[in-house]
Structure formats: C-alpha cells, structure tokens
Amino acid sequence: MNKSILITGCSTGIGYYVAKHLSQRGYQVFATARKAEDVARLNNEGLNSFQLDLDNSESIQLATDWVLEQTHGKLFALFNNGAYGQPGAIEDLSREVLREQLETNLLGWHELTCKLLPVMRRQGEGRIIQNSSVLGLITMKFRGAYNTSKFALEGYSDTLRQELDGTGIYVSLIEPGPVRSEFRANAYAKFQANINIENSPFRRTYEGVVSRLSNADPQKEDPFTLGPEAVLKRVIHALESKRPQPRYYVTTPTYLLGWLKRFVSTRVLDRILIRASGSENS
C-alpha cells in the first residue's frame, strides 16, 4: 500500500493498536508519543516513532519536519488520537485545568492539522481522521472538561470538512464509547492531581468515586466495552473508502445514545443521562 499516516498518542491503547496493525497492513506509519521512553519502546518494536507533545508548538513543528523529511514532503493521512480526560464537576475546574484539557485535546490537534493541510492540498488528496467520543455527542456529569473538548472537536471537524469540499481531502470523526485502554487510569490520575475533594460541594460523591476506583477489579469492565480493534476497523474504512463517512460510531452505547439524541427531547435525555451516571448528589 505504501501510503503514509501520522498517528498521535501511540504509547498505549487505540493509537498503539492502530499503529501496529496499519504497519502490518502495509502503511508507512509514523507513530508519535509524548514521552521519550515510549518513543524508544515503539522504535524497539519496529515502529517508526518520534516524540510529539501536543501542548508544545516547538514539538509539533519538529515532528512535522521529521515526518515530511521521511516522506519527501508527502503525507496521505493524519490520525489525531492523542488525548486525555479530566474528570470533575465543572465548578471544581480551574481555568488553567480547563485550558490544559483544550490545549491537548483540541488546540494541539488544530496546530498539527494546519501544518499538514498544505501538503495534502498540493497532493490533491488526504485523510484527516479525528478520534472523538460518544461524549462529543452527549454529556455526562463530572466529565465537563472532556465533554467540552470533544463537543468543540465535533464542530471544528464538521466545519473543516465543509471547507475542504472538492479538494480531495476527507475529514472523518470516529466516536467510540467504552474501549479497552489506559484512558480510565490516566483520567483518575488527573482527578487526583487537579480536583480539591475537601472543598467541593460534591465531596461525598468524589469520596465514593475514589473508593470505587481504588478497589476496582482491573479484570472487570463494562459489558459494552470493546477492544481497540473496533476502532481500527473504522480507521481502515476512513482511509480506504472512496467516500469516507463523516462519522463512525463505535460500541453499542454510541449507537444508542446517538439515536436518543436525535429522537428525544433535551429534558428527557437529561433525565436518562443523570440516571445512567448514578444518583450523585452534593
């Protein structure tokens, strides 16, 4: 196949799985990660890897230069995947914490995308694949920062797709529900680092969350959780179809909640989602 693709967030989970399997499929994969030790591990495993910190403009420029040097100024696809979730009630999020969520999950993606779009325009073809979330379609309590970043990504990607109409560059959103990865563990670490439990009106709720997560069975997971191969399937379609879909739903919860958003009122949907996220009271 010999088509090239840059993937962000390849240290674990979806990015790692997609990078490995696209490489096996014949793509020229450039697998980036934020930490130097992850880059070293990926290179040792046979992937072509480079350090990329989406919060750092210099890092984004260096990674872009590296990829284009490797490909002689060409790139077929970009899979924006590197992201994290910051849990916590909206009123417990400082401006800085919310800014950090947006820097990584949206603004870093924007900067990287804008550096690569001129390359795709010169080629007359390209694919931009955005790994969004079911939480870019619906909201849930205590996921406000992540919801905000993914709702913004949805609007951003829809606008970009319209603006690129007729260029041969296609923009697709992938919208997973629960997928097996390190996402929850990383989110819990962000919760511990940035949320002041003691001074929150949601203290009792948070204490319950901490107790539940600290005693959770790592082998037990949501029955609707799928492996990263479910995302890979959609990425392949977005890369290889002549007319990629604007949106790809992944997992049963995404299909169900996407349907509910279309056909029930906001008030009814609120009640469903509040019930689904538990009876958390201040």
Q: Is the pLDDT of residue 279 over 60?
A: no
pLDDT tens-place string over residues 72-81: 999 999 999 9
Q: Is the pLDDT of residue 68 over 70?
A: yes
CB 130 within 8 A of CB 153: yes
pLDDT at 281: 41
pLDDT at 213: 66
Q: What is the pLDDT averaged over residues 50-68?
A: 98
pLDDT tens-place string over residues 212-271: 666 655 555 667 788 999 999 999 999 999 999 999 999 999 999 999 999 999 999 999
CB 254 within 8 A of CB 225: no
| Cα distance between residue 114 and residue 163, in whole Å | 13
Residue type, 84: Y
Burial of 165 from C-beta contacts in 10 A (0-12 / 13-18 / 19+): exposed
For the whole model, what pTM was predicted? 0.93
pLDDT at 225: 84
pLDDT at 184: 81
H helix runs in the chain, sequence order: 13-25, 36-44, 57-70, 95-102, 108-123, 144-163, 183-194, 203-214, 229-240, 252-263, 266-276
- Residues with Cβ within 8 Å of 21's Cβ and at least 6 positions away in sequence, in order, are 229, 232
Quickly state the pLDDT bin for 276 (edges 50, 70, 90).
confident
CB 9 within 8 A of CB 2: no
Of residues 178 and 159, which shows the higher confidence score? 159
* Angle subtended at Cα 183 by Cα 177 and Cα 189, rounded to the nearest 5 degrees: 140
Crossing angle for the helix pair 95-102 and 144-163, to the nearest 10 degrees: 40
Q: Compute the mean pLDDT over every residue in the chain, rounded to the nearest whole number.
A: 93
Which of 242-264 are b and which e, b meaning 16 or more Cβ less than 10 Å from the residue's Cβ? eebeebbbbbebbebbbeeeeee
Q: What is the pLDDT averaged over residues 103-110?
A: 98
pLDDT tens-place string over residues 163-214: 999 999 999 999 999 888 788 888 889 999 999 999 999 999 998 878 766 6
Q: What is the DSSP letter of 226?
A: B
CB 52 within 8 A of CB 59: yes
Which residues are designated catalytic?
A: 146
| Cα distance between residue 159 and residue 161, in whole Å | 5
Structure tokens at 219: 């082998």
